């Protein structure tokens, strides 16, 4: 098969692969080498782009030494910003991403891409036989995954995997929603799932990373939760407003009977305020749901 790196302008490769890299001097070279080896026999044409996100080490020099195409940010702009730069820099109808830290098995990119025509996004789910996710991160990831599954209405085995293949035109449709940080993958997952696109999860292994993780556990966890709630309001408003409305309504009922049972008097004003607040929140949710449905 003709090397897609030298494909003429008239023939656009089928899949554009983007590797965002920020201070990944320990992982970038072996990642590129293994990916090239895996893609050598791929049943599709491809192009590879490294987006070097303002690293302070020699990530850029190592990538350039391997003869791959590199786009460089003058400063660190974030994981999502690097992916959006890659999206704008490629023309392929399919957009694939993989991290530069050696955690994802590069050969799996070829496997999950083979069935792409039947789906809009195929995600490498880190639920294989050998998965190395630090124990300290697992409780937060499990909570976020369950919250996102509730919003999407289906079970999500892996919310923010960094190995996936997506239809370019659909990613571009949601690009105005996609953040510049690590929550890029979470956002595109929720956007496509809640909007009814065909998404498939494929089990993959997940290795120990090379170098230091860029994740900030507390800040990024809170940011992910905030993002999931915002996406719920944007795509599935009632998923957010109904639980909040029920909380206030049941709180009002609880105050009504609790005050009569334990205090010997009825706190009718407090109970009424809580119930009416719940009703107003529910009505707001209905209006938001109507606006979302009409806008589609």
**53 and 67 co-located in one domain:** yes
CATH number at residue 142: 3.90.550.10
**188 and 52 co-located in one domain:** yes
Question: Which string of b and e fits 95-122 if b means at least 16 CB within 10 Å?
Answer: bbbbbbbbbbbbebbbebbeebeebbbb
Per residue in 261-294, pLDDT (tens digit) is 787 777 888 999 999 999 999 999 999 988 887 7
What H or E segment, with its residue span, contains residue 123? strand 121-125
Write the secondary structure of 205-230 as one string of H (helix), E (strand) and C (coil): CECCCCCCCCCCHHHHHHHHHHHHHH
Per residue in 108-151, pLDDT (tens digit) is 999 999 989 999 999 999 999 998 887 777 888 888 899 999 99
125 phi/psi in degrees, rounded to 5: -85, 125
- Considering the entire predicted model, what is its pTM? 0.83
pLDDT at residue 204, as a whole number: 96
**128 and 268 co-located in one domain:** no
DSSP assignment letter at 33: H
DSSP assignment letter at 2: -
**94 and 114 co-located in one domain:** yes
By 3-state DSSP, what share of the chain in percent is helix, strand and coil, each rounded to 5?
Answer: 50, 15, 35
**160 and 205 co-located in one domain:** yes
**42 and 113 co-located in one domain:** yes
**111 and 258 co-located in one domain:** no
How many domains, the chain?
2
Question: How far is 177 from 188, CA to CA, in rounded Å?
Answer: 8
CA-nearest of 105, 8, 103, 100 to 47 is: 8
Which residue among 191, 209, 235 closes a domain?
235
Which residue among 219, 235, 251 closes a domain?
235
Q: Give me 290's structure tokens.
A: 């109507």
CA-nearest of 144, 103, 100, 97 to 122 is: 97
pLDDT at residue 244, as a whole number: 94
**127 and 209 co-located in one domain:** yes
214: left (phi over 0), alpha (psi -120 to 50) or beta: alpha
pLDDT at residue 1, as a whole number: 42
Measured torsion, CA atoms of residues 232, 234, 237, 240, in degrees rounded to the nearest 10: 30
pLDDT at residue 264, as a whole number: 76
Which residue among 235, 260, 276 closes a domain?
235
**265 and 285 co-located in one domain:** yes
Range of the domain at 242: 238-295
pLDDT at residue 51, as a whole number: 98
pLDDT at residue 295, as a whole number: 73
pLDDT mean by block of 10 residues, the chain; 296 residues:
47 95 94 95 95 95 94 96 96 96 94 94 95 80 90 93 97 94 93 94 89 71 85 90 95 89 82 94 92 77
**20 and 69 co-located in one domain:** yes
**166 and 275 co-located in one domain:** no
pLDDT at residue 7, as a whole number: 44
The answer to whether the beta carbons of residues 202 and 108 sit under 8 Å apart is yes
pLDDT at residue 191, as a whole number: 94
The answer to whether the beta carbons of residues 68 and 139 sit under 8 Å apart is no
**228 and 248 co-located in one domain:** no
Query: Quick one: CA dihedral 239, 224, 126, 130, positive or negative?
Result: negative
The answer to whether the beta carbons of residues 44 and 111 sit under 8 Å apart is no
């Amino acid at each position: 098969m003709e090397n897609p790196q030298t494909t003429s302008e008239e023939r656009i490769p089928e899949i554009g692969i983007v590797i965002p890299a920020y201070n990944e001097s320990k992982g970038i070279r072996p990642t590129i080498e293994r990916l090239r080896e895996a893609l050598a026999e791929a049943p599709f044409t491809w192009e590879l782009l490294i987006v070097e996100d303002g690293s302070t080490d020699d990530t850029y020099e190592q990538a350039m030494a391997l003869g791959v195409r590199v786009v460089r940010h003058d400063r660190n702009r974030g994981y999502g910003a690097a992916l959006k730069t890659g999206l704008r820099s490629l023309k392929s109808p399919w957009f694939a991403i993989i991290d530069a830290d050696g955690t994802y098995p590069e050969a799996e990119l070829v496997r999950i891409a083979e069935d792409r025509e039947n789906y809009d996004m195929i995600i490498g789910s880190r639920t294989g036989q050998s998965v190395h996710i630090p124990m300290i991160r697992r409780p937060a990831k499990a909570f976020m995954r369950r919250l996102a599954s509730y919003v999407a209405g289906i079970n999500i085995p892996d919310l923010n995997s960094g190995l996936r293949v997506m239809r370019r035109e659909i990613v571009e449709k949601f690009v105005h929603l996609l953040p510049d940080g690590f929550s890029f993958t979470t956002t595109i997952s929720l956007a496509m799932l809640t909007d009814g696109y065909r998404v498939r999860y494929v089990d993959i292994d997940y290795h120990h990373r090379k170098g230091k993780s860029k994740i900030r556990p507390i800040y990024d966890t809170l940011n992910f939760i905030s993002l999931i709630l915002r996406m719920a309001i944007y795509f599935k408003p009632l998923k957010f407003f109904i639980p909040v409305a029920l909380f206030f309504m049941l709180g009002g009922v609880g105050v009504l009977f609790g005050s009569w049972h334990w205090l010997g008097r009825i706190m009718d004003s407090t109970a009424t305020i809580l119930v009416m607040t719940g009703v107003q929140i529910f009505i707001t949710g209905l209006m938001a749901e109507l606006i979302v449905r009409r806008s589609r």
